[in-house]
Amino acid sequence: MTAASHQDRDRYPDGPRPTPAGTLRLPLPVVLAGARGHGRWHLDNIRRLQDKGVVRLAGICEPTPLTEEELGGRSVEQSADLGSLLDATGAAVAVVCTPIPTHTDLALTAAARGVHLLLEKPPAPSYAEFRRMADGVAAAGVVCQIGFQSLGSHAVPAIRKLITEGALGRVTGIGGAGAWARDEAYFRRAPWAGRRKLDGVDVVDGVLTNPLAHAVATALALDGSTRAEDVTGVETELLRANAIESDDTSCVRVTTTGGRITVAATLCAERPGEPYVLVHGTGGRITFWYKQDRVLLQRSGHGPEEIRYGRTDLLENLAGHLSGGAALLVPPESTGAFMKVVEAVRQAPDPVALPPDAWRTLPGERRRVVPGVDGFVAAAADTLALYSELGASWALPKEVSTR
């Protein structure tokens, strides 16, 4: 899809004045850029919110139009050119769920028209592109929500409150663990899948920066370290079992102004499970299964407490912000720390291919597994150590990159 028509600069020399947040009327007309793949989730969510009277699907931007079957028998305006589609529909909001390298240009195309944004994570493939997007959106005066859905969980502020109240004693660190499985077809789903660059342009589609990016972002949020300046150092170990350019089995240790965070992840798990973030304290710990909004609180002198929390949908929150002044949950600046981690991964040496005896292919599933990796992922979150420090034979200390 194209970012905008060639008439953009002539038609919008200074950009239209966006409608101030808190003053728009529901339902908000929404254009979805990228309605296949993960975009199908956004399409279903827009339909759900449409039934509630929150938004109205005004258009879909895809290189190949969706079929009547894909649209569920409904009719909606479609175009491969986001700029012309926004012009034609008068959309108030654009949901951008397109290949990572296109995020910045498409976001700025919307911003130039005074159209507010829900931008899928990761917001950009590099810190420079992130800054270009965030600064451009701010200059245009539009509102941008970054699509880290886990940060809409009501568990996040609840855990932060427990931490600040001293329920765990002194926090000694935060760990994150994600043991997922993806077959070979996953890495062929698009030309940019599993790539660090494509045609000379950054992609950085690694396990920590895309499929399990929520583990990194959620750990940073629980640490209270969400801004770029909160990150003071990043160590990475990037590895791959699959025949790809990017990493599928990696860990990262982030030093922040407030503490230390280690997140380990793999797409080559033997027994895939729910990802989680673990807050360690001198008087207890909290386990947060962020996809389930489920929290386990364990502390000295108390029995274990398990709590399930609600979640605020990020598009609904954006609509509430634009129509009623609700606080925006995930503005771009609150993902600056995450983008510092993305930048460290981008600048690190290329991922190291695991030796053939470190992985095997599961019969009938066409996916590669790394025996023992599930345990190393959990141990990294539990001890805040890197794979190499835990004694993984396939992760040598020389593979650690420090930024």
Return per-residue pLDDT of the chain as tens, 403 residues: 665 443 344 334 456 677 777 789 999 999 999 999 999 999 999 999 999 999 999 999 999 999 999 998 889 999 999 999 999 999 999 999 999 999 999 999 999 999 999 999 999 999 999 999 999 999 999 999 999 999 999 999 999 999 999 999 999 999 999 999 999 999 999 999 999 999 999 999 999 999 999 999 999 999 999 999 999 999 999 999 999 999 999 999 999 999 999 999 999 999 999 999 999 999 999 999 999 999 999 999 999 999 999 999 999 999 999 999 899 999 999 999 999 999 999 999 999 999 999 999 998 899 999 999 999 999 999 999 999 999 999 997 655 566 7
Residue whose entry in the numeric block shows the structure tokens 């409608």:
19
Amino acid letter, residue 238: L
pLDDT recorded at residue 396 = 73
Residue whose entry in the numeric block shows the structure tokens 């502020």:
157
Reference 239, options 373, 402, 375; nearest CA is: 373
Going by their DSSP bridges, the two strands 171-179 and 93-96 should be labelled as unpaired
- Assign 394 to helix, strand or coil: coil
Task: CATH 3.40.50.720 in the chain: give the residue spans.
Answer: 8-146
Residue whose entry in the numeric block shows the structure tokens 């593979």:
399
- Assign 222 to helix, strand or coil: helix
pLDDT recorded at residue 56 = 98
Give the Cβ contact number of residue 298 at 10 Å.
16
Q: Per the structure block, which two tokens stand in for 397?
A: 């200390």
DSSP, res 208: T
Q: Per DSSP, what are the bridge partners of residue 299?
A: 284
Separation CA 31–CA 246 (nearest Å): 31
Separation CA 132–CA 1 (nearest Å): 20
CATH number for the domain formed by residue range(s) 154-309+333-402: 3.30.360.10
Q: Which CATH number fits domain 8-146: 3.30.420.10, 3.40.50.300, 3.40.50.720, 3.40.50.1580?
A: 3.40.50.720
Task: CATH 3.30.360.10 in the chain: give the residue spans.
Answer: 154-309+333-402
pLDDT recorded at residue 72 = 87
pLDDT recorded at residue 271 = 97
Whole-model pTM: value is: 0.94
Separation CA 395–CA 386 (nearest Å): 9
